[in-house]
């Protein structure tokens, strides 16, 4: 009897071990990661030319593929702004169920690296994560083309809306997260030569009469030693009355002498 009970217990244990575990126990808890890094936020582009802004995406803290779609939500009128890679369809199998995802790119989970990788797989980029190390991720480029007629000094704000999605068992997006990236573009000259010129000032006003400098010069003119004729202390002016008086006396004496001789 004891042997029969023991045998039944062993058989029951084997049956329990053979049964599949619940799905929740088999699967690891979902972790969603929408990590990104933005390149230079300010860009200078000459008229008629194009420039590129950069956005980096990586996934080191998640265990689900991050599907990312991008859209230019703001740009100056007449400017051509596009995104590379462009929006397209990706074939995905979710738990054996085939589905299509419309996106610009996707980022699979990867390990955080302590050193910068020397061999980066094609289609991937190395991203430095401050304070943590390096990650392998993907790059999105915002291509901006400025019209030829755009005046120098013009600034334009560009906003890129990014949406990350993670798929559920049915193949549709179960979780979503949104984020914006802002860039400022300044239209500058294509020339590398430096020049500087004051602008915004009119022509010098026309002068009628004496300028302030001339007035100052005249005010000081009588005090300078180079103009003795107008100086009140000139020797010629001081002795002029005496000279005139002397000449009058001499002429008077001559006239008196001539009158006496005739008489």
DSSP assignments along the chain, one per residue: -HHHHHHHHHHHHHHHHHSPPPHHHHSPPP----EEEE--SEEEE-TT-EEEEEEEEE-SS-SSPEEEEEEEEE--TT-EEEEESPPEEEEEEETTEEEEEEESEEE-----BSS--SSPPTT-EEEEETTTEEEEEEEEEEEEE--TTPPTT-EEEEEEEEEEEEE-TTSSEEEEEEEEEEEEEEE--S---------S--PPPPP-S--HHHHHHHHHHTTSTT-GGG-TT-HHHHHHHHHHHHHHHHHHHHHHHHHHHH-
Between 188 and 25, residue with greater pLDDT: 188
d(CA 50, CA 106): 26
d(CA 114, CA 129): 10
Query: Closest by alpha carbon to 178, among 82, 84, 90, 73?
Result: 73
Q: How many residues does the chain have?
A: 263
The pLDDT of 107-118, averaged and rounded, is 95
pLDDT at 232 > cutoff 80? no
pLDDT of residue 171: 83
pLDDT at 217 > cutoff 50? no
- Domains of the chain: which residue ranges? 28-187
CATH number of 28-187: 2.60.40.10
Quick check: pTM over 0.75? Answer: no
| Share above pLDDT 70 across residues of the chain, in percent, rounded to a whole number | 73
Residues in contact with 150: Cβ distance below 8 Å, sequence separation at least 6, in sequence order? 47, 187
| Share above pLDDT 90 across residues of the chain, in percent, rounded to a whole number | 58
């Amino acid at each position: 009897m004891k042997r029969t009970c023991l045998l039944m217990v062993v058989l029951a244990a084997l049956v329990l071990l053979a049964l599949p575990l619940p799905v929740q126990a088999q699967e690891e808890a979902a972790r969603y990661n929408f990590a990104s890094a933005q390149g230079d936020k300010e860009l200078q582009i000459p008229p008629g030319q194009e420039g590129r802004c950069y956005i980096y995406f990586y996934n080191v803290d998640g265990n689900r593929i991050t599907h990312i779609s991008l859209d230019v939500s703001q740009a100056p009128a007449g400017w051509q702004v596009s995104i590379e890679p462009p929006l397209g369809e990706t074939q995905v199998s979710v738990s054996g169920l085939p589905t299509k995802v419309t996106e610009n790119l996707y980022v699979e989970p990867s390990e955080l690296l302590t050193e910068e990788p020397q061999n980066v797989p094609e289609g991937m980029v190395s991203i430095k994560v401050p304070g943590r190390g390096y990650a392998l991720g993907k790059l999105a480029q915002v291509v901006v083309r400025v019209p030829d007629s755009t005046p120098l000094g013009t600034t334009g704000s560009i906003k890129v809306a990014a949406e990350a999605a993670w798929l559920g068992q049915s193949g549709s997006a179960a979780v979503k997260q949104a984020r914006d990236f802002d860039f400022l573009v300044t239209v500058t000259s294509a020339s590398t030569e430096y020049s500087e010129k004051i602008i915004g000032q009119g022509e010098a006003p026309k002068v009628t009469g004496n300028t302030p400098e001339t007035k100052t010069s005249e005010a000081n003119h009588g005090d300078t030693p180079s103009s003795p004729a107008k100086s009140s202390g000139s020797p010629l002016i001081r002795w002029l009355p005496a000279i005139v008086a002397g000449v009058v006396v001499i002429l008077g004496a001559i006239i008196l002498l001539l009158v006496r001789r005739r008489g």
